[in-house]
Amino acid sequence: MTDSDFPGSKLASALSQPVSVTWQSPSNIALVKYWGKTGRQLPVNPSLSMTLSNAITVTKLTALPRETEGPVELDFWFEGNQNEAFGARMSKFLVSINDIFPWLTQVRLKLETHNTFPHSAGIASSASAFSALALCLCSLDNEFFNIVLDESEFRSKASYIARLGSGSACRSLFPGFTVWGKTKSLPGSSDLLAVPVSEVHPVFTTLNDTILIVNKKEKPVSSSEGHNRMVGHSFTEARIKQAGINTGELLDALKTGNKQKFISIVENEAFTLHALMMTSADGFMLMEPETVRIITRVQQLRKETGLNICFTLDAGPNVHLLYFEDEIEQVNKLIVEDLLKNNEQNLRINDLYGTGPIKIN
Ligand code: PMV
């Protein structure tokens, strides 16, 4: 798939009545991290993620009749309220993809969206939000122009569109594990869209991800700013090489069911992401003292108990604790009695391996 696969069409005549479509789409957690971009939202290195199950955005997009063509017109609602900041980001995205969907300036748009996870709980919602919106746009496009795509072509197109909104969003379109970014370890992989990983040992479909909340506040440096700070980073070449190797090794661990290898790559990637932040020219740190305490404790507990637990970090201070279904009881005990002992409210969000977006009729 290339940019020229989307020539885009205009509506032959104005809409006579509103047309709505609703999709729910999950967030995902990167295991090999995308950090640094180039061109039209292309990754500088391959990444590999697990689609989640509970952190979901539900989006209803309505195209309404409009008499004359003009700039993109968006009426944006988040959790039942108009939200200027989110609306502005969504509008900017829609304007930026007008070349792909020229009809966007021939209709009025109403976007109603809500998340099934608490707002400001330290979960990145851009992956679920942009993947849900991309699916809605592709569904409307199909309906307007009678485009017939099979399931895989449709998801790939939505992945391509989601990427233009938020890079990591392109990985949310598929169940389970997904790779975004060209890598020789996975034939068919691409910088333009994500592809599902098909060879996965059943043990990895039992993965749980409990997010231990260290701080719910908005982070001081956004992901987009973080990507910018990778430009000219002195570790760039080594990082690209490392991400390629880690992607290949992780694919192999997923295929063979190798938990030890999985754990060592996942933690190496989390440490690398934060090391890249700290060592950029304008260095910054998103980990907090409590983040460091928890991740150190996870490593100790793994040694002491032999449990297959490990952590990963997103671009923020909260810790994603990864573990397998067969050890869920022991791990939950450790979470409450040990890992969250400094967290008075025991704040955490339980999530797990997910099966991907669903269209809601
Ligand atoms: O998709 P963005 O631009 O929000 O960047 C996401 C970056 C990380 O979450 C840190 C890593 C990743 O691969 O998801």
Query: Residue 13 pLDDT > 70, yes or no?
Result: yes
Strands (E) across the chain are located at 19-32, 37-38, 42-43, 47-64, 73-78, 81-82, 108-115, 177-180, 194-196, 207-212, 310-313, 319-324, 348-352, 358-360
* 108 shares its domain with 242: no
- Residue 7: what pLDDT? 66
Domain hosting residue 238, numbered range: 205-352
Mean pLDDT of the chain: 94
The pLDDT of residue 84 is above 70 = yes
The pLDDT confidence band at residue 125, using thresholds 50, 70 and 90, is confident
Ligand 1 pocket test target in 27, 35, 320 with most atoms within 8 Å of CB: 35
User: Where does the pLDDT of residue 121 fall: very low under 50, low under 70, confident under 90, or very high at 90 and above?
Assistant: low
| pLDDT (tens digit per residue) in 282-318 | 999 999 999 999 999 999 999 999 999 999 999 999 9
Share of the chain residues as helix, strand and coil, in percent rounded to the nearest 5: 40, 25, 35
In this structure, what CATH number is given to the domain that contains residue 346?
3.30.70.890
Given a cut of 60, whether residue 122 has pLDDT beyond it is no
Q: Tell whether pTM > 0.85.
A: yes
Residue 337 lies in a domain: yes
Q: Averaged over 256-280, what is the pLDDT?
A: 98
pLDDT of residue 161 exceeding 60, the answer is yes
> Looking at the structure, do residues 135 and 225 belong to the same domain, yes or no?
no
pLDDT of residue 253: 98
- Give the model's pLDDT for residue 177: 98
Residue 233 pLDDT: 97
Residue nearest to ligand 1 atom 9, measured at CA: 314
For the CA of 180, the closest atom of ligand 1 is 13
Number of domains making up the chain: 2
Ligand 1 environment, Cβ below 6 A: 30, 33-35, 47, 124, 126, 166-168, 223-224, 273, 314-315
Which band of pLDDT confidence, cut at 50, 70 and 90, is reported for residue 218?
A: confident
Distance CA 5, CA 137 (A): 16
* pLDDT computed for residue 32 by the predictor: 98
Same domain (yes/no): 155, 43: yes
Whether residues 126 and 214 share a domain: the answer is no
The rounded distance, in Å, linking the Cα atoms of 26 and 169 is: 9
* Alpha-carbon span 196 to 353, nearest angstrom: 14
Closest C-alpha residue for ligand 1 atom 6: 168
pLDDT score, position 58: 97
Ligand 1 midpoint to CA 138 (Å): 23
**Is 357 a member of any domain?**
no
Whether 62 shows a pLDDT value over 60: the answer reads: yes
Residues 182 and 55 placed together within one structural domain of the fold: yes
Please tell me whether residues 157 and 13 are part of one structural domain. yes
Q: What is the largest CA-CA distance in the chain?
A: 69
Last residue of a domain, one of 144, 176, 199: 199
270 and 166 within one domain: no
1 close to 192: Cβ distance less than 8 angstroms: yes
The answer to whether residue 182 sits within a structural domain is yes
Both 132 and 8 in a single domain? yes
Let me know whether 307 and 194 are in one domain. Answer: no
